[in-house]
Amino acid sequence: MRLPSLCIALILAILAVTVSVQSRSVSLSDAMSRSLAAAIAQAEFENNVNEMAKLLETTGKDNGKPPAGWRVAYTYKEGGHDKNKVFVNDKTKQVVLAYGGTQPRVSDWAKNFDAGKTSLKINGKDYGNVHSGFYKQFQRTETNMFGAADQYLKSGYKLEIAGHSQGGAAATIASAYAKEKYGVANPKVVTFGSPSVGDKQFANMYNSRVNDNTRVVNSYTNMFGQKKTEVVPSVPLPGMGYQHVGKLKSVTTGRGDFTQKIGNHLMDNYERATRNNPDLDKHGLIVRTIGKGVNAAKNGIFKGVKKVGEFGKNVGNKVRNTARNVGNKVRNTARNVGNKVRNTARNVGNKVRNTARNVGNRVRNTARNVGNRVRNTARNVGNRVRNTARNVGNKVRNTARNVGNKVRSTARNVGNRVRNTARNVGNRVRSTARNVGNRVRSTARNVGNKVRSTARNVSNKVRSTARNVGNKVRSTARNVGNKARSTARNVSNRARSTARNVGNKVRSTARNVSNKVKSTARNVGSKVRSTASRVSSGVRSVASRARSAVSSGVSRAKSAVSSSVSRVKSAVSSSVSRARSAVSSARSSVSSAARSVGSRISGALGRFA
């Protein structure tokens, strides 16, 4: 705050305190504190308005330097020139959205004349209708301006919005968006020379939602003592349905003429008018121009015609000499600059070419090295893969061959053992059957010799029965041998075929072969056991038939030859006992042979598994 404004504020505060004490009998301290607070608030308000004017004065200037304490956080350009800016004051924690005025371009003026109305609704709130051109100007910059200020708002900075002329209208719309869309509780707005923005509904809705809006309008006093405002705040015309918003603050530049109607709209005049001690004009532009002319005429008259002529000659000579010198300097400077530019361009071109060559050579060398490394690595990997595949293939082939050989040898051994066992069983069965037959024949002969008439029949029956038994035993033994041989052949054939396929399916084929060999051995064992049981049952049936025949012959012989009954009984009993012993020996031999065959087969299967 400047010293004159502070002194005025203190004087006003003292007067206010005196009046307040005399009229209302309020304590001196309370009245003074309230008056001082009001005076300070007013002074701060005046300073803030002038601060916004200074910021807007640099907004439309390309690379304009802001006042002390402020920095530019974002610049929005139109047509290559600065249009709007976002200013930040880190000390006071303020962020300002500054919207510049109309630029001297046809496109910018076209927005001012786009006076149609557009319906404005923000987050469901109906703001009525606004000027189409001003609304389009705001929409074009909304995302960039609020996006630049967002990080500061999140950090607790206070938002202020300022605008001049067309930018004042955009600032008004921006404050409504700050309130409704961006969640700013109480946006602060200051506009300078702003036109009307919307209709009556907009003005009512805006004033009810945005409370802190100051509309600054510049004015002057003409030669007749009348106060006149600048031209822009009076557009669009009231007859078009537009109304102003906010609180009016009128400032002045002093005396003037009709030229100030437009001149007072310039931002530098607004900055001058909002100072604490403004430099007010004492005359208008026309009076100042006339005064300057009169003074110049007086000075010319007093100096005289001769001095004027000499002065004119000297000025002409100086002007010509200065022009020549300036021309020579400009030409020399242009030549030097051209030579330096050409030399610099040549040097830069040479450096660029050399750098490009070096980079190209390095890239080519690097690509070659990488290609060679990739090729060598691929070759090594390929060789390793081939060697590994060969080794794996050789190992698989050797393993398959070994397994096949083991399976073949095991199958051959099992087949040979099964054949030998079957042959031995068949031989033992044949020999046992022969012995039984011989014993039965000899017994029958003895019985026939002893019992002539009866013995002949018994002998015949015994011979026929023995023959049948021998034939059955032989045929059974032959069948058993044939089945054993065919089974062994089938086993060997299956083992050979399985061994051939082992190379492709080693594990599954080996398991199948072992299962088949086991099942075949089980079948052989079961068939041998069944054959032995059949042989034993046949021998038993023969013995039973012989007993019945002998008993019937004995009974008949008893009636015919009583003397030879005891002999026949003893002979028959002896023959029966011998037959039983022969049958039991045959049983034991067959069972032992079957057990040995089973043990050998199980041992062979265990070794194979």
> Tell me, what's the pLDDT at 19?
43
What pLDDT sits at residue 56?
Answer: 95
What's the token pair of residue 474?
């032989």
Query: Using one digit for the tens of pLDDT, what is the confidence trace for 373-426?
Result: 878 988 998 898 789 879 978 987 898 788 778 868 887 887 788 688 868 877
pLDDT digits (tens, 9 = 90+) for 135-154: 999 999 999 999 999 999 99
Residue 3 scores a pLDDT above 50: no
The full set of domain ranges for the chain reads 46-283, 405-608
pLDDT 10s digits, 478-491: 886 788 578 758 86
pTM for the whole structure? 0.45
> Which of the pair, 113 or 49, is modelled with greater confidence?
49
What rounded mean pLDDT belongs to the chain?
A: 80
CB atoms within 10 A of CB 258: 14
Predicted confidence at residue 2, as pLDDT, reads 43
Please give the average per-residue pLDDT across 218-234, as a whole number. Answer: 87
By mean pLDDT, which of 15-24, 108-117, 231-240, 351-360 is the weakest? 15-24
Other CB atoms within a 10 A radius of the CB of residue 452 amount to 13
Flag whether pLDDT at 460 surpasses 80.
Answer: yes
Q: Residue 603 — pLDDT band, cuts 50, 70, 90?
A: confident
| Poorest-pLDDT segment among 23-27, 47-51, 320-324 | 23-27
pLDDT at 182 over 90: yes
Confidence bin at 538 (pLDDT 50/70/90): confident
Average pLDDT over residues 277-295: 59
Give the 3-state secondary structure of residue 77: strand
- pLDDT of 150 reads 95
Tokens of 184: 């700013």
Query: End-to-end distance of the chain based on CA atoms, in angstroms?
Result: 110
Tokens encoding 581: 């012993």
* Both tokens assigned to 134: 């001003």
Whether 218 contacts 273, CB under 8 Å: yes
**Residue-level pLDDT at 482:** 85
**For residue 75, pLDDT beyond 90:** yes
How many whole angstroms separate alpha carbon 145 and alpha carbon 167? 13
Return the H-helix or E-strand segment holding 62.
none
Is residue 475's pLDDT more than 50? Answer: yes
* 555-564 mean pLDDT: 65
State whether CATH 3.40.50.1820 applies to domain 46-283: yes
